Amino acid sequence: MLSTRVIACLDVQNGRTVKGTNFINLRDAGDPVEQAKQYSTIGADEICFLDISATYEKRRAMFNVISKTAETCFVPLTVGGGVKDLNDFRDLLNSGADKVSINSSAVYNPKLIKQSSDKFGNQCVVLAIDAVENIKMPSGYEVTTHGGRKKTNIDSLKWAKQGVKNGAGEILLTSMNTDGTKKGYNLKLTKLISQNVSVPVIASGGAGSPKDMVDVVLKAGASAVLAASIFHYDIHTIYSVKKEMSENGIIVRDCEN
């Protein structure tokens, strides 16, 4: 059985790690290069680097920061933000990314999922879905883009299924309603997606404690858990998360105390 991954997320803006609530009220949380190095040393299974304003500001990702991060990171690195086409995809992989996360660009150009999967392999393609509650949608959740700023009138479950069919090898699922709240992941949303797709689902948005991470795996079927605030501000450690998971029968990789 595969181990459940614990992923540290670096939301980056202007070369600095930031964190807010529901993607707003952002505050500085440190240097991403140093943080990535530290997380990879103390047991993070992966690092997720998201340039959260690249798409909104209509610019490419910060390749220099990504390259420096990759040089100091000894675990797989997923990078997202500002990816518009195959050239951006290729440049991110050449900068040291192991996987590329696409969100807004995939919504407005669904062919990009298949093109990138065919070109680089589906193991490199992560479909990021920022979902917001909307009772008008069949699943109850609507896809948003541009860091949650724009609604799309696309049903989240339908989009997840379509993305996997087109070649996405993994789904990074963020509940916009719980992001940054530290009140726990959206179990209903995570379970809905994980039960209906054949690829791993990374739970994101709302982690406040190791117990939240246990719950989203055991109750909602997540294959990996992602968090930012609780790690950046030393509220909880990767070790404490893995310890709690292991004590609840979840297989995890070892890490340093």
3-class DSSP state for residue 113? Answer: helix
Task: Give the CA angle between residues 58, 60, 65 to the nearest 5°.
Answer: 135
Which residue of the set 98, 130, 155, 179 is catalytic? 130
* Among 11, 51, 88, 212, the one annotated catalytic: 11
What tokens does 193 get? Answer: 């997606």
Identify whether the C-beta of residue 201 lies closer than 8 Å to the C-beta of residue 173. Answer: yes
Rounded to the nearest 10 degrees, the angle between the axes of helix 210-218 and helix 187-194 is 40
Which of 51, 90, 192 lies closest to 133, judged by CA? 192
Cβ atoms 131, 144 nearer than 8 A? yes
11 is catalytic: yes
130 noted as active-site residue = yes
Q: What is the CA radius of gyration of the chain?
A: 16
Which two three-digit tokens encode residue 212? 């939240």
Q: Please provide the distance, in angstroms rounded to a whole number, between the alpha carbons at the two ends of the chain.
A: 24
Q: Could you give the residue numbers annotated as active site?
A: 11, 130
